[in-house]
Chains A and B, each alone.
Chain A
């Protein structure tokens, strides 16, 4: 049973407070959907969960231990899918996915399943530069399947995806949760995730006090 908690998180970008007093809780099998208007801090929260952005204050606990204590160890626990797809234009689809799998100690020879899940087997030898935006996103998502990690952090994963692929993504998320995995995703489109918790970031927007403004 894995638990991932955030307590009283404050996010500051530039000199602007994005959200404050934010708590979250994700347990094995959970999905947490982040909603909120543009600029409410969905991406910032996901980057924070990944350890890429330091919280201004507050704590994140992985199974009760400080998640930010060991950056590399925390990184091994999660997959992050951000706005960029990190697909190298001169490497083939298979080479791209295989590299990320190897880096995480996955079985590099067996990326077939990952290609199947997002239906990109026919692109096996295609260099990244000939892929469409949606295909690149599929390659990026296939990377997540190719090396297992308990926590998936997906920032707008449906961007550029067609309906059929969104269905495939929903199935992959469900399979991951059934196996005890955790998923946090932000989305504007509908992703069907039964029993998911919803975190609305506009609940945590607050104007800082004068003292806090001075302290920044």
Chain B
């Protein structure tokens, strides 16, 4: 466990000192959402109608932005080989990296989401559920993204390939994340939607570290 914390701490300090990765992700998220009122006009009911979907789609794209770098830097400077050779299983290393990625990108998105909700005229009942949905959904996004990041490692144009690989896999999270907010706005029960999001999170947590670790062993060769 202490090794796990060591790994997470290392990635966090790398990301904080390496510049403004998480700030850029956050800025992208805000700007992407802000574009919509300009695009569709400032009518309150139109904005309110598309608010959940807009915020969720922008969150998906923002969390994907920094994924390419998840393993790339360690791969380039030889650290990945040494991590693979350490007595710590590669699966644990993957989970630690995903946790650090989520803390630096997913968490800021959740915090910024209510502000963008205000901007998008999101009805009051939607706010809490939007944040809950993002809290369950963004870790799943980071986990799924880790598999994609591991698969494209070592290939040129990894970034574009990465989005083609993982955006389709993000669809279930998007559907249930948005439908939870819609349900809350329509005074329907939000529990089934959140439970399914939770289920997706548990399933990805159980499956993706193994898939990502298996994918990582290929480029290391």
Interface residues of A (CB under 8 A from B): 47, 50-54, 71-73, 75-76, 78, 80, 82-88, 90-91, 95, 99-100, 102-105
Contact = CB atoms under 8 A, between A and B. Distances in A.
Contacts of A103: 3, 6-7, 83, 86-88
Contacts of B220: 52
A85 B85 contact: no
Nearest to A50: B85
9 contacts: A52-B220, A52-B221, A53-B221, A75-B87, A82-B78, A84-B76, A84-B77, A103-B3, A103-B83
Contacts, number: 72
Contacts of A102: 3, 6
A86 B17 contact: no
Interface of B: 3, 6-7, 10, 13-14, 17-18, 76-79, 81-90, 220-221
Given A52-B221, A102-B6, A88 B84 contact: no
Contacts of A99: 6, 10
Nearest to A84: B78
A152 B174 CA distance: 49
A88 B81 contact: no
A37 to B, nearest CB: 23
A52 B84 contact: yes
Given A84-B78, A86-B77, A90-B17, A51 B10 contact: no
A75 B86 contact: yes
A105 B18 CA distance: 26
Contact of A72 (B6, B10, B13, B88): B88
A44 B17 CA distance: 35
A51 B86 CA distance: 11
A104 B87 contact: yes
A127 B18 CA distance: 12
Contact of B85 (A52, A87, A88): A52
Contacts of B77: 84-88
Contacts of A105: 3, 87
Given A91-B10, A103-B86, 14 more contacts: A52-B84, A52-B220, A75-B85, A80-B82, A84-B79, A86-B78, A86-B79, A88-B79, A90-B18, A91-B13, A102-B3, A103-B87, A104-B86, A104-B87
